[in-house]
Amino acid sequence: MGIIAIVGTSTGAGKTVTTAAVATLARSHGRSVAVVKPAQTGLRPGEPGDLAEIERLAPGVATYEYARYASRLSPEAAARYAGDRPLRLTTVAKSLAALDAAFDLVLVEGTGGVLTRFGPDGWTFAELAWSLQAPAVVVTAPGCGTLNHTALTLEALAARGVPVKALVIGEWPEEPDLAARSNLADLEALVGHPIDGVLPHDAANQPDFLATARAGLASEWDGTFDGAAFRDDNTPEPAGTCTS
């Protein structure tokens, strides 16, 4: 399956739970999986971060974190304020290429959005994905503002030659409002096909995460999610608009 970049439209879109869902489904079919978080920010050494959550939700995956910074900033800014050495694109890409040779699937989870800076030379997660020829899974939010954030993310990836493999909503609310429901068709229009997955906002707390992942991701990921049916079930009657 190669290397796949997990890209968020913004912080809090649900990248980590989506990464865990893809990983646990791949593991359930006997594939070896590595999950890499090139940079974790906002945590001190020893504190549980995104990879600890993935290990909890997807037992058996191998996890790798290349840098950690205490300040909740972009990796570039966090390294600068801490006086630490920043990550180098070539070093990260070389390490990921080695993992690609050792595992069936390598999932690389970004930090923040796709154009968040990782180094003083300005390299971003989009450049990393391009250097690896890794397709992207774009994880977005459902509500107001998501159409703009998603369109900009897709444009940034396209401008750098990074193909989009899937669009997933990472935090679907228990009681979706008009904006969330009406945005489904518009998100679909942005990628030109039904969305590839919807995970509930409390997916990480479900007693059977594997079942949640299977129900929330499409068949390409060994799931049962049907994007067109989900859209039809949730699209409201025209009764108002939300500027997104």
Residues tagged active-site = 37
Cβ atoms within 10 A of the Cβ of 158, count? 12
**Token representation of residue 191:** 């990628």
With residues binned 3-state (H G I as helix, E B as strand, rest as coil), the percentages for the chain, rounded to 5, are 40, 20, 35
CA distance 41 to 52: 14
CA distance 15 to 19: 6
CA distance 120 to 161: 22
Helix (H) or strand (E) holding 181: helix 178-191
Cβ atoms within 10 A of the Cβ of 111, count? 25
